Amino acid sequence: MTSAGHFARSLRLRRLYRHGTAGLMVTPLDHSISDGPVIARGSTIDTLAGQLAASGVDAVVVHKGSVRHIRPDRFADMSLIVHLNASTAQAPDPDAKYLVTGVEDALRIGADAVSVHVNLGSDDERRQIADLGRVADVCDRWNLPLLAMMYPRGPRVADPHDPALIAHAVTVAVDLGADLVKTYFPGTVPDMLDLTTSCPVPVLVAGGPARADESAVVDFVGAALDGGAGGVAMGRNIFRSADPRRLAARVARLVHRHPAAELDHTIRGQHHHDGQQTVLA
């Protein structure tokens, strides 16, 4: 990578970490294609985006069409990650993800980063891995950060939360060029530490199914951070909350102020003494 390219990618990564290098609080809203509407009755995606920006969320993940329905000023306080592939729950194979846009289009509409979802173990794994590799190449060409959403998921996966399978999924993302990886929490803090201490890029823990108890959400996030997670990517628990702004703010404060992340390193992939990761170069 040229010095100019190194600068451009680093600049975009720093924009993602707008609240400091302790960790990232990302709210994915890409569920709208896979599962249906994510916006509560009487609200809009612009209103939700405004609530998230005001709560301290670092970035939202949305599909390209949603961007035109969000006021640009919402992104004065948070970053835009455009999701590049999709599938629906009604498909013959919901685990098969298909590219629906590209890196250049994401840049054209103002993306700070892009994301791609891959299900390892699905019948369609071969094409999804190839898509991730091609997207990573284009991201390198344009110096755009790439978030890979990696899950052991499919007919050959007996336990999606098997730590060995999660570690394999994360390794695939790193080997193909991802800057950030989103995946499952493996179940325990020691298992999470095994994953994060051997990974050269930040691992963001997926928020998982919606929980009725807000304190359970906070406890889950705390365990992930204790395990060295580079942050969380929490969607359903936020947008299905009775008060998305309040819960997002609570989680964001925890991510940005967690004791495991008090040191501010500036070497990409360098780890804190207990496994906490940073991404800045």
Q: Which is catalytic among the residues 112, 151, 179, 194? A: 151
> Active-site residue 184, yes or no?
no
Instruction: Report the length, in residues, of the chain.
Output: 281
Q: Which helix (H) or strand (E) holds 150?
A: strand 146-152
How many other C-beta atoms can be found within 10 angstroms of the C-beta atom of residue 15? 17
Contact 232, 205 (CB under 8 A): yes
For residue 228, is it left (φ>0), alpha (ψ between -120 and 50) or beta? Answer: left
* 147/24 Cα distance (integer angstroms): 12
Q: Which helix (H) or strand (E) holds 8?
A: helix 3-16
> Active-site residue 97, yes or no?
no
Nearest to 146 by CA among 202, 205, 228: 202
Q: Which is catalytic among the residues 95, 112, 179, 182? A: 182
> Active-site residue 30, yes or no?
yes
Q: Which residues are catalytic?
A: 30, 151, 182
